[in-house]
Structure formats: C-alpha cells, structure tokens
Amino acid sequence: MSLDLQRTDQVHALLANRFSPYAFDPSGLVDDHALHLLLEAARWAPSAGNSQPWGFLPVRPGEPDHARVVPHLAPSSARWAKDAGLLVVALTRRYVEDSDILYSEFADYDLGQAVAHMGLQAQAMGLATHQFRAFDLEALAAELRPNPGWEIVSMIAIGKAADEPPARRERRSAVDLRTAPWSTPPA
C-alpha cells in the first residue's frame, strides 16, 4: 500500500482548517460560558506527573486587566491582538515549592499541550486563535507580578477572525518532520 504523504484530506477538519488570523472582529466577544469551556479544555491536557504546571490570565476588552496587558504588546501584535475578544496570558510553573518536583523540565511542553487543547476547543466553537510572543516580557511581568515560581511564556488572542484563511498555507512535509532532525536517519 502506497502512502501519499502530501495528502491532508484525512486530517481532522479542526486541525486542517485552523489558521492564525492577523485581524479580529472587535464585536466578536468571548462570553463567560465560552471562556469556561476554553479553560476546561486546557485543564484536560496531559502533563508530566499530572503536575498541570499551567496558569492563565484571561482578559477581555473593557476589563481592567485588559488595559494593563495591551500597552505591553509589540507594535507587530498590537495591530491585531487588541481587537480579539479575549487575550490570554499563558504562564508556566517551572519551579514547584512544597513538592517533590523542584524543577520541571517539562513545564513549557505541558503548557504547550494545554494551549493546544484550548486552541482546538476554540476552533470547535467557531473561534480563531493566534498564539504569539510579540510583547515586552519583562514589562508585562513587572505589571502583572505573577506569584513566585510562575513565569509568563506567551499569549493567545482568541475571538472571531476578521480575515479569511489563506488560500494555501506552506507547511513542511510529513517526511521532513521525521527526517530533518537526523544527520543519519534512525533505522
């Protein structure tokens, strides 16, 4: 049986249709119920030792914390992220006090899993997401003052996309994903 490694028609539509918009409809608000579902999806992500080393600060336009976050966006992300119905500051807990886990080398990976779950839930709800790191990390951390052990990693803009998905998106091939990292491919 020959496998066509360029075909994507059998990839689930939630994955195949996902894109990161560069424009959000400012009227596409994310209500409390939708926010709860997004956080619930993140909660069910797998993590090393079930440590769940993630935390989120969700902020919506008009809320006081939104006004604290937006000034720290880089100009490149401020153009579109400020219009999203929800901005989510994603944090990880790499150092865990009062635990057998003094340092988790998996915390960032686990946070990524939780964010991916949140993104798929958003897609299932007809919302778009755009993950980004274009913000002043030091200034945002000084503004928000996360608890000891917690570190801001990234943000996610969530809402109703105001632009259309690109007609064609260039992606690395599945073959490249399994061969590129190796100087000599494993047997």
Q: Is the pLDDT at 95 greater than 80, yes or no?
A: no
Number of Cβ within 10 Å of residue 71's Cβ equals 13
pTM of the model: 0.88
Q: Is the pLDDT at 50 greater than 90, yes or no?
A: no
Second-level CATH architecture of 35-160: 3-Layer(aba) Sandwich (3.40)
Residue 178 CA to chain centroid, in angstroms? 24
Helices (H), 96-187: 107-124, 137-144, 174-179
Q: Is the pLDDT at 2 greater than 50, yes or no?
A: no
Domain ranges across the chain = 35-160
Per DSSP, 35 falls in state H
Who wins on pLDDT, 32 or 19?
32
C-alpha to C-alpha distance for 182 and 64, rounded to whole angstroms: 49
